[in-house]
Chains A and B, each alone.
Chain A
Amino acid sequence: MALRSTDILTQTPQGLYCPLGDFHIDPVRPVERALITHGHSDHARSGHRSVMATRETLRIMGVRYGEDFAGSTQEAPLRESIRIGDVTVRFSPAGHVLGSAQIAIEAGGTRIVVSGDYKRAEDPTCLPYEVVPCDVFITEATFGLPVFRHPDTRGEVRKLLDSAALFPERAHIVGAYALGKAQRVMALLREEGYEKPIYLHGAMERLTELYKAESIPLGETPKVVAAERSKLAGAIVICPPSSIQDLWSRRFPDPVTCFASGWMRVRGRARQKGVELPLVISDHSDWDDLCRTIQETGAGEVWVTHGQEDALVHWCTTHGIRARPLHMLGYGDEGEAEEAAHPPLEGEGREHRERGGVETPTSESDGADHPTSALRADPPPQGEDMA
């Protein structure tokens, strides 16, 4: 008789735990033995006694936490079965970032796949996702709503290049997560024929060097020298998302604020961040790919770790697949993390600029077919000059 799935994998405060092999997967607190799917800091933390991961993920952890990030490390070769206690584990490419892997755990004829974070879209900086048939599929749901359909990344990169051509006197500051997204954007720019240097915020440097050392061609990527920021008219600069509105970006010539993220699909999100050029480029699966992947694994049961669990669970249920949310905490802190915070002020986030500050007309009452809307259309403030 096959083992029950919960005998193979359970939930503990540290994260997913396999009692038969005595190891955790992507634990959020230090444990004896950790198997790590990929190098993002919410999945790969330091301080475990022993860590098993792909060679690239181990290198990434070394760069981020120092070489002593764990008591001992063991490289997991891709697609090879490894015996741990009473289970067999196997790492397969997840297509998320360099070195990212899904982990299949098999015991007593039951196979569970912990997919970590994954995507199906093309990415020149990492191996593509491979479907691993299984009985139980454990998936994230960061973009688990049918409104999230990521467009072709080439089109998004072209938007950036078109804008750089139209506004050659301005610097384009692209917010992108330091591991994965930043390098993917660089690689995509190169694929689209962009040959000029791509300038990097200091926080991007070491991981980008690591990607280059892994033979991913990213071209010339000088670090931004603080004193020379004002000379970077026409340049494309990549920085961590937190820096796009930081003091750091202030000295660039008339910066165009760009942000490469799946969240940019929703306009309100982009506006909230003050983004002027949203680039819908995600390292996670969109809704269609989440649904497609679940069906391709043939899993009869799906566990949803984090993200928009409810909608994905609903979809599974209506498609005859058993599903439950795990409501796991501590994930989504890096990469395309959900940022909470809606301002509490009445009318915040709406435009208050019509007629130089009359408070009442809001975007709600400012319809184009409003008979008197034209009267309120005083010329908008010229070019946002600093008064």
Chain B
Amino acid sequence: MNRFAALLDRLGYEPRRNAKLRLLTDYFRHTPDPDRGYALAAMTGALMFKEAKPGLIRGLVEERTDPELFRMSYHYVGDLAETVALIWPAPGHDAAAKVDGTPTIGHNNPPPHVPTLTEVIETLATTSKSDLPARVAGWMDALDETGRWALIKLITRELRVGVSARLAKTAVAQLGQIEPDEVELVWHGLEAPYEDLFAWVEGRGPKPESGNPAPFRPSMLSHPLEDEDFAKLEASEFLAEWKWDGIRLQAASGHGSDGRPVRRIYSRTGEDVSRAFPDLVDALDFEGAIDGELLVVREGRVQSFNVLQQRLNRKAVTPKLIAEFPAHLRVYDILFEGEEDLRSLPFAERRRRLEALVARLDDPRIDLSPMVPFTTWEDLAAARADPASVGAGPDADAIEGCMVKRANSPYLPGRPKGYWYKWKRDPYLVDAVMMYGQRGHGKRSSFYSDYTFGVWRDGPGGEELVPVGKAYHGFTDEELVKLDRFVRNHTVKRFGPVREVEYGKDKGLVLEVAFEGLQRSTRHKSGVAMRFPRINRIRWDKPAAEADRIETLEKILERGEKEVHPLKEDQAERPGKKRKEA
């Protein structure tokens, strides 16, 4: 348990992906089975404890601490789990016990037993509700602060140390000469503590059988299309589709050994997200695997990414949520049909198979991503500039450019060169004024590399700047040095790692910020949040007074909302409508 706790502790502070990988691999290499397998399960979200709940910990700590001291401590630390871990009065550590309580020397109590990770996980999974408090309290007594913190994280099942399931699996793959995608392929047939998986990657055992009748297959990804690429690419060899502003999904369906259908939905990194989309899982009435985009479609119209996010951000998937934000899969590729692997077929051929499958399915929740007809790159450029004019109709707002695919391309895992390209529409641009600089992480920890910027609005005392976003990339190394120098030389206030810089009508630095979209936000003073903001250009030449006003952003926001919220108007006019849909 202590090793696992130390790993979580270190991961939580480590901002770099590669360093995290190194820490994980080192842990997996030096930790025996089955502990390392349970650690992997914890990090991939594969654990489930029926009776161990956060309330259990709260109850235990309340019995053991002065409420006033706990209140002051919680106020200071700001995080409940951490406060509990630190304040827990372990025997022998407790001031009262040392002096006026039970003697710590010469007693007959057995020394506290520090549990292994395996013991913790197995006990949490099997112990009855009535016996759990005593077991957990015993561990809390035996563990140190970091150990207790890790134990609480396990019980609440919220590790929050910046490790995705994918990263943990990549670390396992790095134990041997195995590609992460191969681990992904066998993953769904495996169970904690994954001893067969470790044996395989370490070359001590056979490749585990994938017992999953609906496995994930690694997604094929695209490269951005740059201006200079067009000269090298022959338009007639390519096909084009819209690039939808949704979420990439893979839907797989098969039959279990008992003959019952097994239907799963995966993210593009292979995480099983089926339980978030029961409405879509229902629709997977086929055998095979298809690739497409998750969208919210209301009355046949694709909604903006903002609307989709309202479905994604909910924890509980209720019938109401499903009715209000119906999930839709717009498909563009097929990997398997039945047992037949189609991935080596040319894209054009797969497309025909896909069209036939979608026609057979005949389900409004699954449809085809239409092809965009073009002969020359100029044709496609015109389509990309105005999708509505080329058949996208009212869905044009949910289109963020074109996908350009070689007609003969096989379906390859990863991001192979020369087959698929994304040609995104031009970003929105706004001129904003730098307001704060924050120190970066890792290599950038001595640079002020994250910038909060604002635009003008009318305030009580005249025009004022209101922060609208924060960006930490888009500039070159040389520009970073200059931006860092600007922050240091124009600091007016310091707040820990953040510096407020000089800004006003006649002073300040204008940043041209590029972003992909806007959404309303209650967390930001300005009421808007940007998607993918980055520094497009540094306008050393532009006076701050000439930066944009908030109305510029409001207009972008309103245009999107007006066109993608027809349902709201419907509800107002026809109150019975929503019930019928549900």
Please determine whether A384 and B443 come into contact, CB atoms closer than 8 angstroms.
Answer: yes
Please determine whether A346 and B524 come into contact, CB atoms closer than 8 angstroms.
Answer: yes
B94 touches which one: A288, A289, A318 (CB < 8 A)? Answer: A288
Please determine whether A267 and B529 come into contact, CB atoms closer than 8 angstroms.
Answer: no
* A-B contacts, CB under 8 A, total: 253
Please determine whether A343 and B276 come into contact, CB atoms closer than 8 angstroms.
Answer: no
A13 in the interface, Cβ–Cβ < 8 Å? Answer: no
Please determine whether B496 and A341 come into contact, CB atoms closer than 8 angstroms.
Answer: yes
B525 in the interface, Cβ–Cβ < 8 Å? Answer: yes
A358 in the interface, Cβ–Cβ < 8 Å? Answer: yes
A277 in the interface, Cβ–Cβ < 8 Å? Answer: yes
Please determine whether B157 and A250 come into contact, CB atoms closer than 8 angstroms.
Answer: no
Of residues 238 through 285 on chain A, the ones whose CB sits less than 8 Å from some CB of chain B are 244-250, 254-255, 257, 265-268, 270-278
**Chain B contact surface mostly:** mixed
Binary interface profile of A, 75-86, with partner B (CB < 8 Å = 1, else 0)? 000000000000
Please determine whether B157 and A369 come into contact, CB atoms closer than 8 angstroms.
Answer: yes
Binary interface profile of A, 141-165, with partner B (CB < 8 Å = 1, else 0)? 0000111110100000001000100
Residues of chain B with a CB closer than 8 A to A147's CB: 73, 76-77, 82-83, 86-87
B444 touches which one: A167, A246, A292, A386 (CB < 8 A)? Answer: A386
Residues of chain A with a CB closer than 8 A to B542's CB: none
Residue among A270, A343, A381 with most chain B CB within 10 A: A343
Binary interface profile of A, 187-205, with partner B (CB < 8 Å = 1, else 0)? 0000000000000000000
> With A249-B446, A255-B445, A375-B267 in contact, is A381–B86 under 8 Å at CB?
no
Please determine whether A362 and B273 come into contact, CB atoms closer than 8 angstroms.
Answer: no
Quick one: closest A residue to B270, CB to CB?
A: A374
Q: How far is the CA of A294 from the CA of B523 in the complex (A)?
A: 46
Please determine whether A377 and B271 come into contact, CB atoms closer than 8 angstroms.
Answer: yes
A360 touches which one: B247, B439, B496, B523 (CB < 8 A)? Answer: B523
> With A292-B99, A310-B72, A377-B271 in contact, is A384–B440 under 8 Å at CB?
yes
Quick one: closest A residue to B266, CB to CB?
A: A374
Q: How far is the CA of A7 from the CA of B495 in the complex (A)?
A: 43
A65 in the interface, Cβ–Cβ < 8 Å? Answer: no
Residues of chain B with a CB closer than 8 A to A362's CB: 523
B15 in the interface, Cβ–Cβ < 8 Å? Answer: yes
B55 in the interface, Cβ–Cβ < 8 Å? Answer: no
Please determine whether A377 and B470 come into contact, CB atoms closer than 8 angstroms.
Answer: no
Q: How far is the CB of B166 from chain A (nearest CB, A)?
A: 7
A1 in the interface, Cβ–Cβ < 8 Å? Answer: no
How many residues does chain B have at the interface if contact means C-beta atoms less than 8 Å apart? Answer: 102
Of residues 90 through 104 on chain A, the ones whose CB sits less than 8 Å from some CB of chain B are none
Residues of chain B with a CB closer than 8 A to A148's CB: 86
Please determine whether B99 and A295 come into contact, CB atoms closer than 8 angstroms.
Answer: yes
Residue among A248, A254, A276, A344 with most chain B CB within 10 A: A276
Quick one: closest A residue to B442, CB to CB?
A: A384
Please determine whether B523 and A359 come into contact, CB atoms closer than 8 angstroms.
Answer: yes
> With A296-B99, A384-B16 in contact, is A267–B82 under 8 Å at CB?
yes
Q: How far is the CB of A234 from chain B (nearest CB, A)?
A: 15
Residue among A270, A274, A310, A363 with most chain B CB within 10 A: A274
Q: How far is the CB of B34 from chain A (nearest CB, A)?
A: 21
Please determine whether B69 and A360 come into contact, CB atoms closer than 8 angstroms.
Answer: no
Residue among A315, A348, A358, A372 with most chain B CB within 10 A: A372
A361 in the interface, Cβ–Cβ < 8 Å? Answer: yes
A327 in the interface, Cβ–Cβ < 8 Å? Answer: no
Quick one: closest B residue to A290, CB to CB?
A: B95
B100 in the interface, Cβ–Cβ < 8 Å? Answer: yes
Binary interface profile of B, 519-535, with partner A (CB < 8 Å = 1, else 0)? 10101110001111110
A345 in the interface, Cβ–Cβ < 8 Å? Answer: yes
B445 touches which one: A245, A287, A381 (CB < 8 A)? Answer: A245
A356 touches which one: B14, B273, B532 (CB < 8 A)? Answer: B532
A351 in the interface, Cβ–Cβ < 8 Å? Answer: yes
Instruction: Identify which of B18-26, B181-189, B424-432, B504-512 touches chain A.
Output: B18-26
B568 in the interface, Cβ–Cβ < 8 Å? Answer: no
Q: How far is the CA of A341 from the CA of B493 in the complex (A)?
A: 10
Binary interface profile of A, 219-232, with partner B (CB < 8 Å = 1, else 0)? 00000000000000
Please determine whether A245 and B446 come into contact, CB atoms closer than 8 angstroms.
Answer: yes
Q: How far is the CA of A315 from the CA of B69 in the complex (A)?
A: 8
Residue among A266, A296, A362, A363 with most chain B CB within 10 A: A266
B352 in the interface, Cβ–Cβ < 8 Å? Answer: no
Binary interface profile of B, 439-483, with partner A (CB < 8 Å = 1, else 0)? 111111111010010000000000000010111011111001000
Residues of chain B with a CB closer than 8 A to A363's CB: 160
B135 in the interface, Cβ–Cβ < 8 Å? Answer: no
A330 in the interface, Cβ–Cβ < 8 Å? Answer: no
Q: How far is the CB of A78 from chain B (nearest CB, A)?
A: 26
Q: How far is the CA of A51 from the CA of B23 in the complex (A)?
A: 52
Residues of chain B with a CB closer than 8 A to A255's CB: 445
Residues of chain A with a CB closer than 8 A to B443's CB: 254, 384-386
Q: How far is the CA of A345 from the CA of B309 in the complex (A)?
A: 24
Q: How far is the CA of A374 from the CA of B294 in the complex (A)?
A: 14
Please determine whether A145 and B72 come into contact, CB atoms closer than 8 angstroms.
Answer: yes
Residues of chain A with a CB closer than 8 A to B523's CB: 346-347, 359-360, 362
Please determine whether B166 and A371 come into contact, CB atoms closer than 8 angstroms.
Answer: no
Of residues 328 through 387 on chain A, the ones whose CB sits less than 8 Å from some CB of chain B are 339, 341-349, 351-352, 356-363, 365-372, 374-387
Q: How far is the CA of A342 from the CA of B525 in the complex (A)?
A: 17
Given contacts A266-B76, A270-B13, A315-B69, 12 further A-B contacts (CB under 8 A): A147-B83, A245-B497, A267-B12, A268-B78, A277-B10, A343-B438, A357-B470, A357-B530, A360-B309, A369-B157, A371-B317, A380-B17
Task: List residues of B whose CB falls within 8 A of some A CB.
Answer: 6, 10, 12-19, 22-23, 26, 45, 65-66, 68-69, 72-73, 76-79, 82-83, 86-87, 89, 93-96, 98-100, 144-145, 157-160, 162, 164-167, 247, 267, 269, 271-273, 275-276, 294, 309, 311-315, 317, 436, 438-447, 449, 452, 467, 469-471, 473-477, 480, 494-498, 519, 521, 523-525, 529-534
Task: List residues of A whose CB falls within 8 A of some B CB.
Answer: 145-149, 151, 159, 163, 166-167, 244-250, 254-255, 257, 265-268, 270-278, 287-292, 295-296, 308, 310-311, 314-315, 318-319, 339, 341-349, 351-352, 356-363, 365-372, 374-387
17 pairs of residues in contact across A and B, judged by CB atoms under 8 Å: A145-B73, A159-B6, A245-B445, A248-B446, A249-B446, A273-B497, A290-B95, A346-B523, A346-B524, A359-B530, A360-B313, A366-B160, A368-B45, A368-B160, A374-B267, A377-B165, A379-B166
